Chains A and B, each alone.
Chain A
Amino acid sequence: MLSATWLFYRNFWVFSQAVAWGGWLMAGLPLGEELWSFLGLLFWLKLFSYGVIWILTHTFSRQGYCFYQNLGYSIPMLFVGAFGLDLLLFFGLLTLISWSISLF
């Protein structure tokens, strides 16, 4: 399941991560304590960008689903899994950056 989700996520990870890091940049690169107050906002930004990805994929790349359906995965499963991976990657990296800076 994880490898199929990763394969699916690779189709749009650049766009999704770019939007999230762009949002973080626009918020003034908050880190540490300051980051906590922006987490909710960044989460909603991620959810919104996912909505856009879902609409674009459904409109222009619908045919691509069949490869995954043949492996037994439904479309909602793929999107939920990819969203989880995306959140993990973004917030994981943010936490890592925040933690590294607090060390030095």
Chain B
Amino acid sequence: MEHLAVLEADSIELTFGGRKILQNIYLKIRSNQVTAILGQNGSGKSCLLQIIFGTLAPTYKSVRWNGQYVKSPYRKQGLVRYLPQHPLTPSSMRVEEAFGWYGIHIDSVNYEKMPLLKNQRMGQLSGGERRFLETLMILFSPVQFVLLDEPFSHLSPIYVEQLKTMIQEQKSQKGILITDHLYRDVLEIADQTYLIQNGTTYLLSNPWQELVDRGYIPE
């Protein structure tokens, strides 16, 4: 039987200016699954992703890979990659070169516009195209886990649908953690969903109902 990797985060406490942003966090991301985090603006979703990635230092944290503590997950080759909310790649870099840096052969990405775009520089692309391609760079990365921070932002509906399909395809090869405000799209592809509220994570067993009950979405 194939060994499935698990990435866990708990005991996280993050404070900004005396205000506790995160506390009592527990999150488990499994291979072959899409794990979603939902939460209101300013609830600490992006901070949590950066803490798991290892680039934001909280007061306390424990991030474990298959039960082993990992101090800086991003430093561990082949473990995790992170899509931030801001542009990821240098603007002067060509699309094909950017994918190459991340160990992805451009022809392995099944996107019909790629032959037209691969020789363009990242800075020449429209905001949506750039966001879409940068999301694919992370999604298709040869790593065990990917963390996607608002991948649907700035994307037109057709891109959102394509991306959802690609996420579903890629989850057979890795664990995917996603956070976005387009909750319908997120819930459609998520295998498990957490809600961050008052700095704490809640694993939702019946997401649609519990999101209403907890006041995240209207009735």
Contacts and interface: CB of A to CB of B under 8 A. Distances in A.
Interface string B141-164: 100000000000000000000000
**Interface of chain A: mostly helix, strand, loop or mixed:** helix
A70 B81 contact: yes
Interface string A40-67: 0000000000000000000000011111
A28 interface: no
A69 B55 contact: yes
A67 B53 contact: no
Interface stretch (B9-17, B25-33, B82-90, B179-187): B82-90
Contact of B75 (A4, A63, A67, A72): A72
Interface string B80-105: 01101011111000000000011000
A63 B76 contact: no
Contacts of A71: 101-102
B80 to A, nearest CB: 9
Interface of A: 4, 7, 11, 63-67, 69-72, 74
B205 interface: no
A69 B82 CA distance: 9
A65 B90 CA distance: 10
Contacts of B102: 70-71
- 3 closest A-B pairs by CB: A63-B86, A70-B81, A66-B84
A72 B84 contact: no
22 contacts: A7-B90, A11-B90, A63-B84, A63-B86, A63-B87, A64-B90, A65-B55, A66-B55, A66-B84, A67-B88, A67-B89, A69-B53, A70-B74, A70-B81, A70-B88, A70-B138, A70-B141, A71-B101, A71-B102, A72-B76, A72-B77, A74-B72
Contacts of B81: 70
Contacts of A63: 84, 86-87
Contact of B82 (A7, A11, A64, A66): A66
